[in-house]
Protein backbone atom coordinates (compact mmCIF):
# COMPACT_ATOMS: atom_id res chain seq x y z
CA UNK A 1 0.00 0.00 0.00
CA UNK A 2 1.44 3.36 -1.04
CA UNK A 3 0.43 6.60 0.62
CA UNK A 4 0.80 9.72 -1.50
CA UNK A 5 1.98 12.66 0.53
CA UNK A 6 0.67 15.93 -0.91
CA UNK A 7 3.27 18.30 -2.33
CA UNK A 8 2.81 22.02 -1.82
CA UNK A 9 2.82 24.00 -5.08
CA UNK A 10 5.68 26.50 -4.61
CA UNK A 11 9.21 25.22 -5.10
CA UNK A 12 12.55 26.99 -4.70
CA UNK A 13 14.67 27.90 -7.73
CA UNK A 14 16.99 25.14 -8.92
CA UNK A 15 20.00 27.25 -7.86
CA UNK A 16 19.35 26.41 -4.20
CA UNK A 17 20.91 22.99 -4.84
CA UNK A 18 24.25 24.71 -5.48
CA UNK A 19 23.93 26.60 -2.18
CA UNK A 20 23.20 23.39 -0.28
CA UNK A 21 26.16 21.66 -1.94
CA UNK A 22 28.55 24.51 -1.04
CA UNK A 23 27.22 24.65 2.51
CA UNK A 24 27.74 20.90 2.92
CA UNK A 25 31.27 21.18 1.57
CA UNK A 26 32.18 23.99 3.98
CA UNK A 27 30.71 22.09 6.93
CA UNK A 28 32.67 18.99 5.94
CA UNK A 29 35.87 21.03 5.57
CA UNK A 30 35.41 22.39 9.10
CA UNK A 31 35.00 18.89 10.53
CA UNK A 32 38.02 17.65 8.56
CA UNK A 33 40.12 20.54 9.92
CA UNK A 34 38.98 19.72 13.47
CA UNK A 35 39.95 16.09 12.87
CA UNK A 36 43.35 17.12 11.52
CA UNK A 37 43.89 19.34 14.56
CA UNK A 38 43.02 16.55 16.99
CA UNK A 39 45.21 14.12 15.03
CA UNK A 40 48.13 16.57 15.18
CA UNK A 41 47.57 17.08 18.90
CA UNK A 42 47.50 13.33 19.57
CA UNK A 43 50.62 12.91 17.44
CA UNK A 44 52.32 15.73 19.37
CA UNK A 45 51.69 13.89 22.64
CA UNK A 46 52.83 10.65 20.95
CA UNK A 47 49.59 8.78 21.73
CA UNK A 48 48.38 8.33 18.15
CA UNK A 49 48.26 4.56 18.26
CA UNK A 50 45.96 1.75 19.32
CA UNK A 51 42.47 2.91 20.25
CA UNK A 52 43.15 6.56 19.36
CA UNK A 53 44.08 5.55 15.80
CA UNK A 54 40.78 3.67 15.48
CA UNK A 55 38.81 6.58 16.92
CA UNK A 56 40.42 9.09 14.54
CA UNK A 57 39.97 6.74 11.58
CA UNK A 58 36.31 6.21 12.50
CA UNK A 59 35.81 9.96 12.87
CA UNK A 60 37.11 10.65 9.34
CA UNK A 61 35.06 7.74 7.95
CA UNK A 62 31.87 9.10 9.54
CA UNK A 63 32.59 12.62 8.24
CA UNK A 64 33.10 11.22 4.73
CA UNK A 65 29.95 9.07 4.83
CA UNK A 66 27.80 11.95 6.12
CA UNK A 67 29.17 14.23 3.38
CA UNK A 68 28.48 11.70 0.61
CA UNK A 69 24.95 11.01 1.90
CA UNK A 70 24.23 14.74 2.23
CA UNK A 71 25.39 15.42 -1.35
CA UNK A 72 23.48 12.43 -2.76
CA UNK A 73 20.25 13.47 -1.01
CA UNK A 74 20.23 17.06 -2.33
CA UNK A 75 17.89 16.22 -5.26
CA UNK A 76 15.43 14.59 -2.84
CA UNK A 77 15.68 17.49 -0.42
CA UNK A 78 14.95 19.86 -3.29
CA UNK A 79 11.93 17.85 -4.40
CA UNK A 80 10.24 18.12 -0.99
CA UNK A 81 11.37 21.59 0.13
CA UNK A 82 8.27 23.66 -0.71
CA UNK A 83 5.89 26.29 0.59
CA UNK A 84 2.42 27.71 0.03
CA UNK A 85 0.67 30.93 1.00
CA UNK A 86 -3.09 31.04 1.43
CA UNK A 87 -5.31 33.74 2.87
CA UNK A 88 -5.39 31.91 6.24
CA UNK A 89 -1.87 30.54 6.67
CA UNK A 90 1.65 29.90 5.42
CA UNK A 91 2.61 26.28 4.91
CA UNK A 92 6.18 24.96 4.92
CA UNK A 93 7.08 21.50 3.68
CA UNK A 94 10.40 19.77 4.18
CA UNK A 95 11.96 16.36 4.60
CA UNK A 96 12.59 13.58 2.14
CA UNK A 97 12.41 10.62 4.51
CA UNK A 98 10.37 12.09 7.35
CA UNK A 99 8.18 14.64 5.63
CA UNK A 100 6.43 17.41 7.50
CA UNK A 101 4.11 20.23 6.58
CA UNK A 102 3.93 23.07 9.10
CA UNK A 103 1.01 25.51 8.91
CA UNK A 104 1.47 28.95 10.46
CA UNK A 105 -1.71 31.05 10.79
CA UNK A 106 -1.29 34.52 9.30
CA UNK A 107 -2.57 36.21 12.49
CA UNK A 108 0.21 34.50 14.54
CA UNK A 109 3.06 36.09 12.58
CA UNK A 110 4.93 38.71 14.63
CA UNK A 111 7.65 39.85 12.25
CA UNK A 112 9.52 38.87 9.09
CA UNK A 113 13.24 39.06 8.33
CA UNK A 114 15.16 38.64 5.12
CA UNK A 115 18.61 37.10 5.23
CA UNK A 116 21.29 36.52 2.63
CA UNK A 117 24.56 34.73 3.35
CA UNK A 118 27.49 34.60 0.95
CA UNK A 119 26.33 31.44 -0.86
CA UNK A 120 22.78 32.77 -1.32
CA UNK A 121 24.16 36.15 -2.46
CA UNK A 122 26.37 34.52 -5.09
CA UNK A 123 23.31 32.73 -6.54
CA UNK A 124 21.14 35.89 -6.25
CA UNK A 125 18.88 34.19 -3.71
CA UNK A 126 17.46 35.25 -0.36
CA UNK A 127 15.88 33.70 2.71
CA UNK A 128 12.73 34.88 4.46
CA UNK A 129 12.41 34.13 8.18
CA UNK A 130 8.89 34.29 9.61
CA UNK A 131 8.72 34.68 13.41
CA UNK A 132 5.81 33.75 15.66
CA UNK A 133 5.70 33.91 19.46
CA UNK A 134 6.74 30.27 19.74
CA UNK A 135 9.10 29.66 16.83
CA UNK A 136 10.49 30.78 13.51
CA UNK A 137 10.17 29.29 10.05
CA UNK A 138 12.17 30.01 6.95
CA UNK A 139 11.78 29.91 3.21
CA UNK A 140 15.32 29.64 1.95
CA UNK A 141 16.42 30.07 -1.64
CA UNK A 142 13.95 32.51 -3.12
CA UNK A 143 14.91 34.87 -5.93
CA UNK A 144 15.67 38.26 -4.39
CA UNK A 145 12.80 40.00 -6.21
CA UNK A 146 10.39 37.22 -5.25
CA UNK A 147 11.54 37.32 -1.62
CA UNK A 148 10.98 41.08 -1.34
CA UNK A 149 7.58 40.79 -3.01
CA UNK A 150 6.60 37.83 -0.85
CA UNK A 151 7.66 39.69 2.30
CA UNK A 152 5.44 42.65 1.35
CA UNK A 153 2.55 40.32 0.52
CA UNK A 154 2.81 38.58 3.90
CA UNK A 155 3.04 41.91 5.74
CA UNK A 156 -0.15 43.09 4.03
CA UNK A 157 -1.90 39.81 4.86
CA UNK A 158 -0.84 40.13 8.53
CA UNK A 159 -2.15 43.71 8.67
CA UNK A 160 -5.52 42.61 7.26
CA UNK A 161 -5.69 39.63 9.63
CA UNK A 162 -4.88 41.78 12.68
CA UNK A 163 -7.51 44.37 11.67
CA UNK A 164 -10.16 41.65 11.46
CA UNK A 165 -9.53 40.56 15.05
pLDDT tens, per residue, the chain with 165 residues: 455 778 899 999 999 999 999 999 999 999 999 999 999 999 999 998 989 999 999 999 999 999 999 999 999 999 999 999 998 999 999 887 788 999 999 999 999 999 999 999 999 999 999 999 999 999 989 999 999 999 999 999 999 888 876
Q: What is the pLDDT of residue 1?
A: 45
Q: Among 76, 94, 125, identify where a domain stops.
A: 76
Q: Which residues of 65-89 are buried (b: 16+ CB within 10 A; e: fewer)?
A: eebeebeeebeebbebbbbebeeeb
Q: How far is CA 36 from the centre of its chain?
A: 27
* Domain coverage including residue 18: 11-76
CATH number of the domain bearing residue 97? 2.30.29.30
Q: What is the pLDDT of residue 120?
A: 96
Structural domain count of the chain:
2
Q: What is the pLDDT of residue 90?
A: 94
Which residues lie closer than 8 Å to 151 by C-beta, 6 or more apart?
112, 114, 128
Helix (H) or strand (E) holding 125: strand 125-132
Regarding whether 94 and 28 lie in a shared domain, the answer is no
DSSP for residue 65: H
CA nearest 144: which of 7, 26, 10, 12? 12
Q: What is the pLDDT of residue 3?
A: 57
Residues in the chain: 165
Regarding whether 89 and 68 lie in a shared domain, the answer is no
Start-end of H helices in 45-99: 51-72, 74-80
Backbone angle region of 37, left / alpha / beta, with phi > 0 → left and psi within -120 to 50 → alpha? alpha
Instruction: Identify whether 1 is part of a domain.
Output: no
Instruction: Identify whether 25 is part of a domain.
Output: yes
Q: Among 26, 58, 76, identify where a domain stops.
A: 76
Regarding whether 67 and 53 lie in a shared domain, the answer is yes
pTM, whole model, 2 decimals? Answer: 0.87
Regarding whether 70 and 28 lie in a shared domain, the answer is yes
Regarding whether 89 and 21 lie in a shared domain, the answer is no
Q: Among 55, 76, 97, identify where a domain stops.
A: 76
Regarding whether 61 and 27 lie in a shared domain, the answer is yes
Cα–Cα distance measured from residue 73 to residue 71, given in angstroms and rounded to the nearest whole number:
6
Regarding whether 68 and 39 lie in a shared domain, the answer is yes
Long-range contacts of 106-115 (CB under 8 A, 24+ apart): 106/154, 106/157, 106/158, 106/161, 107/158, 107/161, 107/162, 107/164, 107/165, 108/132, 108/133, 109/154, 109/158, 112/151, 112/154, 112/155, 114/147, 114/148, 114/151
Amino acid sequence: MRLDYPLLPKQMPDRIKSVWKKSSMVTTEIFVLIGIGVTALLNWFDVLNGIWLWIIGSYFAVVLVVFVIDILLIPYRYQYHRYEITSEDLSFQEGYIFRTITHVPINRIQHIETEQGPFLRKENLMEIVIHTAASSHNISGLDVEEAVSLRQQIIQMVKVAKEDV
